[in-house]
Every structure is written in C-alpha cells, then in structure tokens.
Amino acid sequence: MSQQVAVVTGAGSGVGRAVALELAAHGWRLVLAGRRAEPLDAVAAEAGPGAALAVPTDVTDPAAVDALFAATAEHFGRIDLLFNNAGTFGPSVPLEDLTVDGWRAVVDLNLTGAFLCAQGAFRLMKRQDPQGGRIINNGSISAHTPRPGSIAYTATKHAVTGLTKSLSLDGRPYRIACGQIDIGNAATEMTAAMSTGVRQADGRIAAEPTMDVADVARTVRHMAELPLEANVQFATVLATTMPYIGRG
C-alpha cells in the first residue's frame, strides 16, 4: 500500500472523484480540491478516516492555488502526484454566438487553472526532500479530434498538450515527471448527454457509447505508481466503439 500524497483537482465529482477514491483504496493520502466544500467532504468521507484533506479551491485564483499547496505542505509535508483534472466543456454554441466571456471562462479554468496548479506542484516538488514527483494532466480526445461547437474546449485541450510537454522538459533536472491522459466518453455527470444524443461531425444527433469511469481511474493510478524513472507520456482511454477513430 502506498503512503504517497496526491493532490486531485476537480475532486468532488466525475473523473476526479473516481481517481481520488481509486488512489485512496490503494493507500494514497489525498488533498481534494474543488470549488464546493460539500462534495469534497463527501469524497473525503468515502476515502476513509484520515486519508483525505478537503481544500475548497478556485483553481483560476492564484492566491487560492497558493493556499492549496501551502495546506498540502503543512498537512502532509510533501506532494508526490498532482492530478490536474479540473475543467469544463463550456457552452456548446455556434462559433459566432460564443461570447468573449464564455471563451475566457473556459480558458481560465481548463488552461490557466491547470498552469497555476502545475506551477504550485512544481515549486513544492522541487524544494522537498526527496525531490521530485509526478504531474498528470487531464487532456481529452478533443486534444486530437474536435467535436462541432467546441472551439474553446478544444483549443484549451490542445494547449494542455503543450503544457504537458513543457512540464516534462522543465521537470527533468528535478525528477518531476509529467504525463497526460486523454479520455473519451467516460460515464460521468459531464457526459450524461452522450447516452441521449450529441451532435456529430455530419450534423446528425446520435447517442454514443460510454465506458465506466473506474477504467479511467485505474489507468491514472497505473501512471501514478510508476517509478519516476518511467513515464507514460500520453495515454488515451476511450469507449471502444465511440466515434473517434474515423470521426468526421
């Protein structure tokens, strides 16, 4: 059983919740970050007594992110993993109807939030003893192939791939590894519409298959538990028959 420490953002629901509980089940100690305290407290209770610290955090706020990693250092003394998961689809609207505020909200959460958390983790991993750790960014199938009406989400997920590569390079001198998991159609609250119908590249509305979010959680744990001398740079986990290979 691991006694390593993981910070999970967006931990109150969906992929973040599933990953947090998978890690807790294998002995990880957790710092759970998200905007709302109530779901974080519920996940902490599921994780078990003393396993998790809930820290309500707006990852788009630099001061809040600083406080998150200060709390991690104070409570556990170190960080071994950041699962950079907080994100949003944003509005699915025609390009010409997307407001600048709508664009910025997606960029602030999916990209700037991921950068701020990676920066906070990097600083702590660099100064702790023993030095080093791992960052896993939640990318998306959209980092490779977009959906209609998803320009803000798709652009940020392409940018997350650049973030992953730069972190991997900049982390080398300090034993900080960085990888990315690209997820397609995991069954969560965010993807509930998949089973009823979503717009396809040819304009049709069609239901899409989903997969158990637990399969994503196990993949993240595998990536997390590798020795720092090994890294899964990019992993793609998707519902086998979803319209991705050959989409469009």
Decide if 153 is catalytic: yes
Of 219, 139, 120, residue with least CA distance to 183: 139
Residue with tokens 């997820």: 183
Q: Which of the following is catalytic: 59, 153, 180, 208?
A: 153
Residue 56 pairs in a beta bridge with 34
Q: How far apart are CA 12 and CA 16, in angstroms?
A: 7
Q: How far apart are CA 186 and CA 189, in angstroms?
A: 9
- Decide: 83 and 6 in contact? Cβ < 8 Å: yes
Read out DSSP for 53-69?
Answer: EEEE--TT-HHHHHHHH
**Active site residue ranges:** 153
